A and B are shown apart, each in its own frame.
Chain A
Amino acid sequence: MSFDPVTFLFLIPALAAVVIALMPGSKLSAYVNAGASFLTFLAALSLLWVERPTPGAYVLVDEFNTIFVVLIPFVAFTTSVFSATYVEYELETARVTPAFLKLYHALYQALTLCFVLALLSNNIGVMWVAIELATLTTVVMVGIYRTHAAIEAAWKYFILASVGIALALFGTILVYMAAEPVMGAGLNAMVWTDLVPRAASLEPAMLNLAFVFLLLGYGTKIGLFPLHAWLPDAHAEGPTPITAVLSGLLLNVALYALLRCKMLLAGNPEALAPGPLMIVMGLVSLLFGAFMLYRRRDIKRLFAYSSIEHMGLITFAFGLGGPIANFAGLLHMALHSLTKSAIFFAVGDISQVKGTQKIADMGGLTSTNPLIGWGLVIGVAAIAGLPPLGIFTSEFLMVSATLEKQPLLAIPLVLGLLIGIGALFLQLNRIAFGEPKGPNHKVKCSYVPMILHLGLVLIAGVYLPAGLVAWFQAVAKLLG
């Protein structure tokens, strides 16, 4: 039997979740979690070299999802390393009990499995199931501290996410109903690789209705305005590694699902163009996120709103379409994922050092804790889109594609970006510079994940390998 990375991608997290759940005691669970995440990442990485399996009724590996199948286990692995030291401190300060810690690690692996399943699924129904399970898993993880605020956040997240999920399922059923007259009843009418080539013959009116539901449904998970209300709470009240996972991974997986649906619509000339809807939702989210950055008092909420802003930006880029905007969107998805999780690694350490998430109680971090402080500064510079860091490239490409296709739209786009930059630096000034404030607890931090991520973002800004560019360009063309 030849080596089949896909099987390993499913098996490793599934087995690890079971092993962690059955393990006596919780001491080793963090190490098992990190180890399993590393193995999953290796299996994902091998997809780059091993010949891709032919798409079946359930599993699909193509150029598009390989980007995310490699990226997401990577971020999941680095986050699990960060998480190991983070939760150790939480255990010391008795914010979580050992039993809950074990649950947390088992769920972490289950979540990885859901992500991989959603990404590799060739079946529109299975993809929906995977995203639903990912949501339910994260609900529990957000509420794991069981404080007043954490329960409220988890409940709000649960209610809004369920509504989103329900709408997405309705959209999924509609896609099937649009396809059934052409493809015949049965499994074929739910398989991406069968649907997309025959998209032109599907019932356009039904497809339109389906896309509206899918956009609202998955849009809730992406955190697009006005469906974003769960996002800041869920980000602020859960453990910080989960905040990094939500921002860096979950939002991207939901966006990936939406893009698959968009491909279906793009293939049908009579159906409504998905672009304008995505452009409007994207731009409104961008502006909303940027304005909301100003008055935030909680450091995790601040960066949660920044995620809304960036998800809006990416949705806008894909809505605009065309090879350049799509390329920029893909690049931005990858870099935002790396940068935002690096920022949350720093934020996690900061909130442990200071014993609070309130921005007013922080200050002068660059002098008291230079490594975290400057890490945060570089992360914020990256997310704000300053050269030479990677996000500058993708934002620059987005603006130039907008100027070329729809020059008027460049005004709100640039405005949103500038407002965001202003707010971020205003807040950063309070957190990282000035007089040191508040306590300075001795906390063991793992700096390696943060430095690794920021290093990659820097490299992406200075030099993008030609192979990677060609790969992303091919996918950008595929997305239409």
Chain B
Amino acid sequence: MHGLSFDIAHLLAGSLVLVSFMLLYQDRLYALLNVYALHAVVLAMSVAWQAYIQDAPHLYITAAIALLFKAIIIPVALHRMIVKLGVHREIETVGGIGLTMLLGMGLVALAMVVTLRATEGAGLLAREDLAFALSVVLLGLLMMVTRQNAVSQVVGFMSLENGLVLAATGAKGMPLVVEISVAFSILIAFIIIGIFLFRIRERFDTVDIGALDRYRGEHG
């Protein structure tokens, strides 16, 4: 498993982490969607490469889903939705970009330390893959926490799911059940989110979660 095939897998998984960092500092919605599309493309390439080196043809399906659904359909649909809703284009980030990036680096370091220590028994490829996947998951979480806007929270969630797909494909011979379910869950999640965004629009004329936070449940 050494040599070129390992290096390419490493490069692709590492790129996914890099694109996750790029997602963190995008402050316009359209740019955010474009970077998310790039994220999905890198994921598709990474999964396709895993399919090739593991000799697991079913993984090509996962790669195709990632490419078609996540890199094309979802960004286009979200793009249209933003136009339709007429959402303002600036995104507020909590704590500033510098701090967020520092936190992101800390999370990646954490992911490396945790997974590389815990997985000494597993194969080298699986270990590296898992470490990168956990980094992507944690960066997705960070993005969901730092963003106020509903659309960017959704993008954060979807980048998080990309990390999960990376982890699932890295696990050798994992049955297809889970991969399809992940893709499926995104579909459902997306529909639900769509409904919610429109409901929010109906009621408040904004997709800013901050507007929702003003309501404090029982104190209202």
A-side residues, CB < 8 A to B, are 123, 125-126, 128-129, 132-133, 136, 139-140, 143, 146, 148-149, 151-155, 158-159, 162-163, 165-167, 169-170, 172-174, 176-177, 180-181, 184-187, 190, 203, 205-206, 208-209, 232-233, 236-237, 296-298, 301, 358
In the bound complex, do residue B174 and residue A176 qualify as a contact, i.e. CB atoms below 8 Å apart?
yes
B interface, over-half SS? helix
Could you say which residues of chain B place their CB within 8 Å of the CB of A209? 114-115, 118-119
Complexed CA–CA distance, A203 and B204 (Å): 52
Closest chain B CB from A142 CB (angstroms): 11
In the bound complex, do residue B119 and residue A205 qualify as a contact, i.e. CB atoms below 8 Å apart?
yes
Closest chain A CB from B164 CB (angstroms): 5
Q: Quick one: which of B112-165 are within 8 Å of A by CB?
A: 114-115, 117-122, 126, 130, 133-134, 137, 140-141, 144, 150, 153, 157, 160-161, 164
In the bound complex, do residue B192 and residue A149 qualify as a contact, i.e. CB atoms below 8 Å apart?
no
The size of the chain B interface, using a CB distance under 8 A, is 53
In the bound complex, do residue B157 and residue A173 qualify as a contact, i.e. CB atoms below 8 Å apart?
no
Complexed CA–CA distance, A296 and B182 (Å): 38
Could you say which residues of chain A place their CB within 8 Å of the CB of B215? 148-149, 152
Could you say which residues of chain B place their CB within 8 Å of the CB of A296? 218
Q: With A173-B167, A203-B121 in contact, do A187 and B175 touch (Cβ < 8 Å)?
A: yes
Q: With A129-B177, A159-B153, A176-B174 in contact, do A166 and B164 touch (Cβ < 8 Å)?
A: yes
When the two chains form the complex, which single residue of A149, A173, A232, A237 contacts B164, counting CB atoms closer than 8 Å?
A: A173
In the bound complex, do residue B217 and residue A232 qualify as a contact, i.e. CB atoms below 8 Å apart?
yes
Closest chain A CB from B58 CB (angstroms): 12
Complexed CA–CA distance, A323 and B134 (Å): 37
Q: Which residue from chain A places its CB closest to the CB of B196 in the assembled complex?
A: A155
Q: Which residue from chain B places its CB closest to the CB of A136 in the assembled complex?
A: B188
When the two chains form the complex, which single residue of B120, B133, B213 contacts A205, counting CB atoms closer than 8 Å?
A: B120
Could you say which residues of chain B place their CB within 8 Å of the CB of A129? 177-178, 181, 185
Could you say which residues of chain A place their CB within 8 Å of the CB of B213? 152
Number of A-B contacts (CB under 8 A): 142
Could you say which residues of chain B place their CB within 8 Å of the CB of A154? 196
In the bound complex, do residue A176 and residue B150 qualify as a contact, i.e. CB atoms below 8 Å apart?
no
Complexed CA–CA distance, A154 and B220 (Å): 17
In the bound complex, do residue B161 and residue A166 qualify as a contact, i.e. CB atoms below 8 Å apart?
yes
When the two chains form the complex, which single residue of A136, A143, A181 contacts B199, counting CB atoms closer than 8 Å?
A: A143
Could you say which residues of chain A place their CB within 8 Å of the CB of B140? 166
When the two chains form the complex, which single residue of B118, B121, B168, B177 contacts A123, counting CB atoms closer than 8 Å?
A: B177
- Judge if B172 is at the interface, Cβ distance under 8 Å: yes
Closest 4 CB pairs of A and B: A185-B173, A298-B218, A209-B118, A203-B121
B-side residues, CB < 8 A to A, are 114-115, 117-122, 126, 130, 133-134, 137, 140-141, 144, 150, 153, 157, 160-161, 164, 167-168, 171-175, 177-178, 181-182, 185, 188-189, 192-193, 195-196, 199-200, 202-204, 209, 212-213, 215, 217-220
Q: Which residue from chain A places its CB closest to the CB of B166 in the assembled complex?
A: A173
Q: With A148-B203, A151-B212 in contact, do A163 and B175 touch (Cβ < 8 Å)?
A: no
Instruction: Provide a sorted-by-A list of 10 A–B residue pairs whose CB atoms are within 8 angstroms.
Output: A125-B178, A132-B185, A151-B203, A152-B217, A166-B140, A169-B168, A177-B122, A209-B114, A233-B217, A236-B218
Q: With A125-B177, A132-B181 in contact, do A162 and B130 touch (Cβ < 8 Å)?
A: no
In the bound complex, do residue A177 and residue B203 qualify as a contact, i.e. CB atoms below 8 Å apart?
no
Could you say which residues of chain A place their CB within 8 Å of the CB of B175? 125, 186-187, 190
Q: With A159-B153, A203-B121, A298-B217 in contact, do A173 and B196 touch (Cβ < 8 Å)?
A: no
Closest chain B CB from A141 CB (angstroms): 11
In the bound complex, do residue A166 and residue B118 qualify as a contact, i.e. CB atoms below 8 Å apart?
no
Most buried by B among A140, A173, A233, A358: A173
Q: With A140-B192, A170-B134 in contact, do A151 and B171 touch (Cβ < 8 Å)?
A: no
Complexed CA–CA distance, A128 and B184 (Å): 13
In the bound complex, do residue B172 and residue A185 qualify as a contact, i.e. CB atoms below 8 Å apart?
yes
In the bound complex, do residue B189 and residue A136 qualify as a contact, i.e. CB atoms below 8 Å apart?
yes
